[in-house]
Structure 1
């Protein structure tokens, strides 16, 4: 008799075929999460109540119901993935906006991840123009929710419903400015919003501060490292940038485009491209020019046309570099008469002649679209070829790093015929009282920061002038005699060098918080110093040494301390930092010292032309045009000396007048050079012809003409003082 052996049970089981595809993983993840939810709901009565309450009416909650401990007052809105309720906090006497994930997304792992991502993003954004998150759901909550700041003034869409023809331009620009502050703050922290539109601008009415806009709904935001929260194209199509419809990269300039669309809507009551279907809207974003805002709504300041056209440029490189630049340009446009058009016309629009004076704000264009622009790669290649030719022709000659004017030809460009312009042709900004001193532009707060020295004595204060209104908004007293200042707009800090005693042997660097408008710190250097320059990438400042001091001071604004010093071998009155190349240029007497910031060594001494007298040539100021690889040195003997930053050779000198030049600045967008002299004149230098094309007499300002330039608008600001000790800032729009 044969006994049949029973097969082991394991052998009779069907093999398990587990797929590792993304779809299968997502399904398993959803089943696992749903299982956790069920277990949690079974053991937690409050959770059972929340789920029943939320799902019994298709994902809505009745007034008076309790959800996650909050008492629901009413439903106030719905977003792309959630419902928003007005609710009361269970313990605090506070009304909140409670956002709950929509019932249809409860088991969608991508939607849940997007919702959680929004909570993480907003928690990182503490800003007065961004809606605050108070609390959020926990990891075991079956339904996801956010408890946020409740803003009771509705949104900008509601304002448009009450004003279908558009808001007053001043109000529209003010709301856009608030949104720009919020967006730039998010962009600085690596976060893109990607759904900027009127419905996401909540309106708050503060009895003290007045009306303000708060940015909300980061539900489809994307971090700059590419971590998305939802699908690729999820923004409202009416406000979406053209690059959003392609597979190419998207950066913060997509938000600039959307903010421009929002400004258009607030001004006119309609979106830029109102079309019958979505395909037509997308086609318009990709190929059509935005209609002139005055054609849609007559009476809007015409200067806003170019502001919007620039913001809505198809190529991101042709837009404003930040949302703040857009808002500032819009503010400037409001300052000009309604009949003044911006010079020139954008493609597709007829040109409208601009009045000769004053000229409205100019359009921002990136450097690679300007005529005559020479790319850095081309300069490097040309320099390399030239170097090889020289070495082959003079094989036995050793190239010296210390170039002298005697060894290299220098082209002296005379000033030539130029157009004189007097100060009364330009408006001025109020800058308080006292003698006008060094000034700098703070693009982040759209203001001019200046040093005001008392007419008598050693009292110094820092003035902050609002560019939009033209009024002095703050005066901050500091100790010591103010000398020079520089601003880092990325961290809202102004650095002011001061002399502490009559012998000028001791200096201090004062840190000014340009947002709080207070002294943020004071750093003694225990040595003499003068000029200050900022590295806007690494956010440190460098202070140039004077007198017998030969060491540059490196200032850490976070620690508010002297981080280190760099010995450069000789004193230097002033310096400029080229942050992208990690290089600094020092006005070291009759030489331009080139400092490699990475190795902290002086790699070249570029000698200025010989003055031909017993008094040697002296460099007073330095400016850099990074995109053209040119350095400009202001000298009293020759005017402006131009240096090639790659070959480190003298290129030309520009005669700016009998008094030479005491300061030089460069507009990096147009490459225009401005040089100030002691005879109360500013020379405007064409970068291509290397000749003076215009001179501006500062007139009754009687200043040594400290200068600063705004690359977004091409506006030059000249500081000075007038009658009775009044300080003024001349506003020049070439």
Structure 2
């Protein structure tokens, strides 16, 4: 069916083409009865005739139509005309972030990129709370309306996330269709998407972090001329350091992106709000969210036990893995992976890429060097001897409890107390401002909200180390996410202890507390105190 100006589809009269993609075209179309223009996405005949896709399209378009949020492009209607599926959406008079980025070869300002990312994150969190994933978060889907001021001020531009018509329910958690079609853009795809694993809201958070990286640097997080190289980056390379491209940014931004782009979805932020809030604090205050992870069960990645080969199916198969050296070797990318054999076919950029795991009879030892773990000291004296960096360093400990990370209860441990005595036995100097007044109980409750005019004890802790002992509802990830600003705005280095056993041992001192803290707290101090 030839579609052009004047063509009527589902009652909508086509005005002009707005854009085109791999699945169809988007047109500006006049509404059948209302005095407005909508964006009409018409899917190609091949896609429309795919029985599996038709069912997915109808089910998920219905779910997306129920979303009502100022940062999400609204889905109005859907249907079929002359064998082609169509979906009517809100028309945004403006551009998209990918097109806007072409005007900034070195990247947007961090402030504008943060604002765009934050607005998109609000829309995503809204969808996630209603059981929908987007699964194709990328700058090309970030719609930017024209500024409302006389000069089209950027601060007044509106940000909306488009293409929720292709969203999916969180109950449908596999990314590959039965026919093998891949539904994301690999430049921003999370590792679990590329490997065909189950998805959840952390997948969209990963893609949002990749999008922020692109907006600020004008580069993809894992650049590569071949899809296999890009996929390899997402699957196996560490998160890129944005400061390597933008050295003007605080290094804390690297830490935030490292969490948001963690290979393991469970190690990422739990919401877009957490991610963008941490990003804002990193950009504006240089505050890092990364500390030693003490959450039970947060084990280090297992060493590689197999190899993975990304194969271009347009090339002839290799005769064997031990080919004659005289025979030209086909280019291969060997990557470390798990030992479970799996084959996944992805339709990317019009070509198929096969991902195959091979478990060889013998696997070479990894070439990376690891540091031998230090056995837990058997006594405080031994811990002090092993860690001369502790000597003379100032430290204080503060409890963080409560039902909400934004309004927690905060209390500072005072001296004299068993807690202060323990730190001093390790070689630290407990902060002189944290001293009991008369028969005052410890810990002393404090205000959780930062007040520059407050001359309280925490305002005196602007050097040394401050240990946040967390059991609030946002604890458990070994990070400073949602810590109250009265703690995070300190100039002292903030450390986090949130292992439940260690937290209880420090707060409720018993004869067994010392040994528990030697095993669980001293490693945190050893890694962080310099």
Do both proteins adopt the same fold according to a TM-score greater than 0.5, normalized to the shorter chain? yes
Instruction: For 1:567-606, list aligned pairs within 5 A.
Output: none
| Partner residue, 1:102 | 44
More helix by share: 2
Q: Match for 2:112 among 142, 159, 171? A: 171
Aligned counterparts of 1:178 and 1:164: Cα–Cα separation in 2: 23
Aligned counterparts of 1:305 and 1:136: Cα–Cα separation in 2: 42
| Partner residue, 1:251 | 200
More strand by share: 1
| Partner residue, 1:76 | 18
Report the CA distance between 1:103 and its aligned residue.
1.9
User: Measured at CA, do residues 215 and 693 of structure 1 come closer, stay the same or move farther in structure 2, by a change above 3 Å?
Assistant: closer
Q: Match for 1:276 among 225, 239, 247? A: 225
Q: Is 1:158 matched with 2:133?
A: no
Report the CA distance between 1:332 and its aligned residue.
1.4
Q: Do the aligned partners of 2:250 and 2:283 also contact (CA within 8 Å) in 1? A: yes
Report the CA distance between 1:681 and its aligned residue.
2.2
Q: Match for 1:370 among 269, 277, 293? A: 293
Instruction: For 1:356-505, list aligned pairs within 5 A.
Output: 360-364=286-290, 370-371=293-294, 419=394
Instruction: For 1:226-237, list aligned pairs within 5 A.
Output: 226=172, 231=177, 233-237=182-186
| Partner residue, 1:718 | 486
Report the CA distance between 1:90 and its aligned residue.
2.2
Consecutive unaligned residues of structure 2, counting only runs of 5 or more, are 150-154, 299-390, 421-433, 449-453, 495-530
| Partner residue, 1:295 | 244
Q: Do the aligned partners of 1:718 and 1:731 also contact (CA within 8 Å) in 2? A: yes
User: Measured at CA, do residues 142 and 165 of structure 1 come closer, stay the same or move farther in structure 2, by a change above 3 Å?
Assistant: same
Q: Do the aligned partners of 2:25 and 2:43 also contact (CA within 8 Å) in 1? A: yes
Aligned counterparts of 2:85 and 2:465: Cα–Cα separation in 1: 64
Instruction: For 1:118-267, list aligned pairs within 5 A.
Output: 118-137=60-79, 142-207=83-148, 210-226=156-172, 231=177, 233-267=182-216
SS in 2 for 1:275: coil
Q: Do the aligned partners of 2:61 and 2:166 also contact (CA within 8 Å) in 1? A: no
The CA RMSD measured in Å over matched residues stands at 4.3
| Partner residue, 1:330 | 279
Q: Match for 2:436 among 631, 652, 657? A: 657
Aligned counterparts of 1:228 and 1:325: Cα–Cα separation in 2: 25
User: Measured at CA, do residues 105 and 332 of structure 1 come closer, stay the same or move farther in structure 2, by a change above 3 Å?
Assistant: same
Report the CA distance between 1:148 and its aligned residue.
1.1
Aligned counterparts of 2:258 and 2:467: Cα–Cα separation in 1: 31
Aligned counterparts of 2:125 and 2:296: Cα–Cα separation in 1: 30
Q: Do the aligned partners of 2:45 and 2:83 also contact (CA within 8 Å) in 1? A: no
SS in 1 for 2:275: helix
User: Measured at CA, do residues 128 and 244 of structure 1 come closer, stay the same or move farther in structure 2, by a change above 3 Å?
Assistant: same
Report the CA distance between 1:93 and its aligned residue.
0.9
Report the CA distance between 1:305 and its aligned residue.
2.2
User: Measured at CA, do residues 236 and 72 of structure 1 come closer, stay the same or move farther in structure 2, by a change above 3 Å?
Assistant: same
Aligned counterparts of 1:124 and 1:230: Cα–Cα separation in 2: 24
Aligned counterparts of 2:176 and 2:473: Cα–Cα separation in 1: 43
Question: How big is each residue's C-alpha offset from its partner over 1:625-647, in whole Å with a ceiling of 9 and x where there is no partner?
Answer: xxxxxxx9999998999xxxxxx
Report the CA distance between 1:364 and its aligned residue.
4.2
Report the CA distance between 1:159 and its aligned residue.
0.8
| Partner residue, 1:66 | 8
SS in 1 for 2:253: helix
SS in 2 for 1:285: helix
Comparing 211-220 with 187-196, greater Cα deviation is found at 211-220
Q: Do the aligned partners of 2:6 and 2:13 also contact (CA within 8 Å) in 1? A: yes
Q: Which has the larger Rg?
A: 1
Consecutive unaligned residues of structure 1, counting only runs of 5 or more, are 1-54, 337-359, 377-415, 422-439, 442-484, 495-532, 534-620, 624-631, 642-654, 667-677, 686-691, 697-706, 720-728
Question: How big is each residue's C-alpha offset from its partner over 1:30-50, in whole Å with a ceiling of 9 and x where there is no partner?
Answer: xxxxxxxxxxxxxxxxxxxxx
User: Measured at CA, do residues 663 and 639 of structure 1 come closer, stay the same or move farther in structure 2, by a change above 3 Å?
Assistant: farther
Report the CA distance between 1:98 and its aligned residue.
0.9
Report the CA distance between 1:74 and its aligned residue.
0.5
Q: Do the aligned partners of 1:81 and 1:111 also contact (CA within 8 Å) in 2? A: no
TM-score (norm: length of structure 1): 0.43
Aligned counterparts of 2:30 and 2:130: Cα–Cα separation in 1: 32
SS in 2 for 1:144: strand
User: Measured at CA, do residues 261 and 176 of structure 1 come closer, stay the same or move farther in structure 2, by a change above 3 Å?
Assistant: same
| Partner residue, 2:361 | none
